[in-house]
Amino acid sequence: MDTALARLDEPPGVAAVGIGVHGCASRADVFSLPNLWQLHLYGYEADLTLDDTTHTIRPGRVSLVPPGTTVRYRYRGRSEHLYVHLRLGSTGAPLGIPVIQDTGTELAPLTAQLNSALSAWPHSPARATAEVWAALWRVAQLARPSTVGTSATHPAVETALAVIEARLAEPLSVAEIAKAAGISHNHLTRLFRAATGSTVVGHLRTRRMERARHFLQATTLSIPAIAASVGIPDLQAFNKACRRDLGASPRAIRGGSENQAVGQSTRLP
């Protein structure tokens, strides 16, 4: 076994968080968890066999093992690791995650998240669950796995998407986004269209108007404040953008009389 298919769109059900101590009474363990996933962060060297596939454990490696898998550990001495036993949900697209992989530069933040989960468990299960869920997403991104049936998103596109989300309130050009992503304007344009089906400018406009609709309907912020928060401080331009992309004026959207329902996707050319 080299890859596990995991669904992370809903919070995990955490059954236990702890520090496992092994290799003292015996240099080998063979066991399985019939109904639980195993998440382990290692600080030692050992050999791990999952069903019929053997993997090398080294400090800084993490494993995510599906329920019912027979695991065989062969230790080289006293061995401690952080562990979480959990259940995963059944909704969302499955992610292909290597059952064991190096954490690399993510070791420190991943260790901090799991230690936070450990300190919260069991007296604050909600907090522990939040930390474990974040850790699972961090593990899922280590190798930038693809969703089953699709290709992985290019790192430059992921960076561009993150820049757009962080800077919706600012004037932002495609050239600036491309520079932050470390590629040329034309290269980003091609990659972005292939990955999202939209242009960079189109996606930026969509996200600004989605945020504007949320603020108009869910908050009591003034319309000028909302316009500024989505990077369109000119009220005339903001009113025109709302009518064009959301189907109604800002006041109509706030009053709930717009034709589009909440959550309906914005239609763009």
Please report whether residue 261 resides in a domain.
no
Please report whether residue 262 resides in a domain.
no
Number of structural domains in the chain = 2
Q: What pLDDT is recorded for position 264?
A: 43
Task: Assess whether 35 and 101 both reside in one domain.
Answer: yes
Q: Do the Cβ atoms of 112 and 126 come closer than 8 Å?
A: no
Q: What pLDDT is recorded for position 152?
A: 60
Task: Tell me which of 34-38, 211-215, 230-234, 260-264 is least confident.
Answer: 260-264
Of 118, 141, 164, the one marking the end of a domain is 141
User: In one letter, which amino acid is 88?
Assistant: L
Q: What pLDDT is recorded for position 2?
A: 83
Q: Residue 132: which of 120, 145, 148 has the closest Cα?
A: 120
Q: What pLDDT is recorded for position 259?
A: 44
Position 263 confidence tier, pLDDT thresholds 50, 70, 90: very low
- Residue 38 predicted with pLDDT over 50: yes
- Residue 200 predicted with pLDDT over 50: yes
Position 257 confidence tier, pLDDT thresholds 50, 70, 90: low
Task: Assess whether 132 and 172 both reside in one domain.
Answer: no
Please report whether residue 170 resides in a domain.
yes
pLDDT tens by residue, 107-122: 999 999 999 999 999 9
% of the chain exceeding 90 in pLDDT:
71
- Residue 233 predicted with pLDDT over 60: yes
Average confidence (pLDDT) over 237-259? 88
Q: What is the domain range of residue 91?
A: 3-141
> What is the average pLDDT score of the chain?
88
Please report whether residue 102 resides in a domain.
yes
Task: Assess whether 130 and 180 both reside in one domain.
Answer: no
Task: Assess whether 215 and 104 both reside in one domain.
Answer: no
For residue 20, what is the domain's CATH number? Answer: 2.60.120.280
Task: Assess whether 110 and 165 both reside in one domain.
Answer: no
Distance from C-alpha of 181 to C-alpha of 159, rounded to nearest angstrom = 5
Task: Assess whether 15 and 97 both reside in one domain.
Answer: yes
Please report whether residue 149 resides in a domain.
no
Please report whether residue 75 resides in a domain.
yes
Task: Assess whether 79 and 16 both reside in one domain.
Answer: yes
Of 141, 174, 209, the one marking the end of a domain is 141
Task: Assess whether 126 and 243 both reside in one domain.
Answer: no
pLDDT tens by residue, 137-196: 999 988 764 444 445 678 889 899 989 998 999 999 999 999 999 999 999 999 999 988
Please report whether residue 266 resides in a domain.
no
Please report whether residue 45 resides in a domain.
yes
Task: Assess whether 86 and 163 both reside in one domain.
Answer: no
For residue 227, what is the domain's CATH number? Answer: 1.10.10.60
Task: Assess whether 133 and 11 both reside in one domain.
Answer: yes
Of 112, 141, 170, the one marking the end of a domain is 141
Q: What pLDDT is recorded for position 144?
A: 61
